[in-house]
Structure 1
Amino acid sequence: MISLKRIYIITGLSALVILLGVTAVSTWYTVDESEQAVILTFGKAGEAINEPGLHFKLPWPIQKVEKLSKETFSLKFGNNEKEDADLKGKKADTKMITGDENIVFADLVVQWRITDPAKFLYNTNNPEEILTDATSASLRSIIGSSKIDDALTSGKAVIEAEVRDLLSSLIEKYDMGISVLAVKLKDVELPNDDVRKAFTNVTDARETMNTKINEARKYQNKRTNEAQGEKDALISQAQGEKAARIERSRGDVAVFNKLYEEYRKNPDVTRQRLVLETIEQVLPQTEIYIMNDDGNTMKYFPIRPLEKEQTKPTEEGSEKNE
């Protein structure tokens, strides 16, 4: 029979082995590259551990490890459909009113990440639910101060930026240990087909107007550039003509100065020379006949017709001889 003392010894050794085993197993842990960990010492959270690899700690129950993901999460606001026949399949929680009192349905995606594991685990009871409520409040606040045209067309980027700023400020106040990375409006729609059709017509008219305005501005720029080119060409031509006339005037002045110098030296010769040059310029094709008489009678000398008549018989005679 086994004695009671031996049973105690075996039980004690077994408990010691189990305790040593638990201690050996619970004194180390590993952190993956996509994970982050926080050490709890008697339930009190310490600093976050983000470095991947093997780490050591005090054995359980003194310390334990909580691991959280470092990946980016996506919160899809507006995907919870409710049974409401009037909404025709739309999401009831995405129904909101714009600043100009129009109803729209807006779906939003928020990308967020855990930045402080201890605060994420223990500062709030349900951080994801709080993030959803904060997203709804932020989106409704911004949509409520925006016009329907901005929400449906070119103002989406501005709305996304304003929602992100407002949501980030709320999350910072709640101190939940998360940060908002991006906000994206997935879909903004009108409540029924008639309203959508009317808004589409307005949008098409606006696009047509913008197209016509752009075409008019393009034509205006084209004509302005052409007019500018013509103006520059005329200015260049005028400047060239100005320079040419100035140089020509300088040349004329130089010629005049030379003539004046010659005139001062020999007035009679220079005067006669100028008269002859002027006559050559004014009467380049004129024939001059010098007559030695008193000039009391007018004389007519058809010399050129007589020369032509004399030349014609001569040419006919030469042809006969041939």
Structure 2
Amino acid sequence: MPYLIRPATLEDAPEITALLNAIDVIEVGRPETDQHTVEADLKHPDTDLARDTWLAFDADRLVAYGLLWDESGGERIDLDHYVLPEHQDVGVSILDAMEARSLERARANGAERAVVHLYLTVRATLAPQRLTARDWDVVRRYHVLHRPLDAGRDQPVELPGGVRLRACGSEEDRRVVHALYQDTFAEHFDHHPRTYEQWFHDVDGERVDWSLVWIVGTDELGDAGFLLARNDRAAMGWIRSIGVLRAARGQGLAGLLLRHAFATFAGLGRETVGLGVDTDNTTGAPALYARHGMTVHFAVDTWEVTLT
């Protein structure tokens, strides 16, 4: 029986979540996908569900899923692709459609080519030779790190003189965090400038517990860094992003934010905390996380192809 391929709808979120968790078990050893994350992806303002999503069914079983979004407004297009290992052919069929749509969206942006990024764990169920045969190459690697928590060890931090720390408690504070994010991540690989409204959606702001988002500052520099944490992932507490302005680096502010997050999560009863980091990050973040006891959980590669 041939596969049925159709676009996704928001109502498909439970079935997509089940597929992604089945793939999580294969790739990282346990299910780590929450349905609200899938729903946020399907609501992405830079995704047209009817044309930028693909579901493949073998009879009534979902076996592959693809999602495309365009944050750059230019030639850069991003993809997520998931397929059960025994269904490689339909996975490639979806990849065909995603490549064609990527070029279409880039050209609609006025670009002559599409530079497409696809994010896969190093143990991806999509066979890597299927990508290399199509001129895809790995251009970046990210590590998902994790660390066990202990309420006895991870105690509330003491602030040094001249340093202040506050929770993100107002709309004004959220805009401060957005500005700090744009500044501290400006030179990072794959960063695209985002308006406040775009960023708010990117972080799924309607669901964020803003009491778990902190701003750190100094008497000399004012607001100088932030940490955005989430406690709505079943697998672990999660640090979505952390950044310190260049002028404030080397003063221990990032480490202070980390320790504060560890203590907060431990106090909430979480046993593990995690975050993601670019292994080629030039700010010293990987070494910082290692010094604070974080180790590699799994690795994710950014694959790239240029389509003309």
Larger RCO, structure (CA 8 Å, separation 6 or more): 2
**Structure 2 length normalisation: TM-score?**
0.18
**Structure 1 length normalisation: TM-score?**
0.17
